[in-house]
Copies of this chain bind each other. A is one copy, B any other.
Amino acid sequence: MTPEPHFVFDPALDLELRREVDVPPQLVWRAWTEPALLMKWFTPAPWRTTLCELDVRPGGGFRTVMEGPNGEKHDSTGCVLHVIPERLFVFTDALGPGFRPTGSAFMTGVISIEATAKGTLYTARALHKDPEAKKQHDDMGFHSGWGTALDQLVALVKGM
Contact = CB atoms under 8 A, between A and B. Distances in A.
| Interface hub of A3, A13, A127, A130 (most chain B Cβ within 10 A) | A3
Interface in A111-129: 127-129
A82 B60 CA distance: 12
A102 B98 contact: no
A59 interface: yes
A28 interface: no
A7 B14 CA distance: 29
A125 B14 CA distance: 32
Given A6-B57, A57-B4, A58-B81, A108 B97 contact: no
Q: Which 9 A-B pairs have the closest CB atoms?
A: A8-B98, A101-B105, A3-B57, A6-B59, A103-B129, A5-B58, A94-B94, A94-B101, A5-B59
19 contacts: A2-B58, A2-B82, A3-B83, A5-B57, A9-B98, A58-B58, A59-B90, A82-B99, A90-B99, A92-B94, A92-B101, A94-B95, A95-B108, A99-B110, A101-B107, A101-B133, A103-B129, A103-B133, A105-B105
Given A8-B59, A95-B108, A101-B128, 5 more contacts: A2-B83, A8-B100, A59-B81, A101-B106, A101-B127
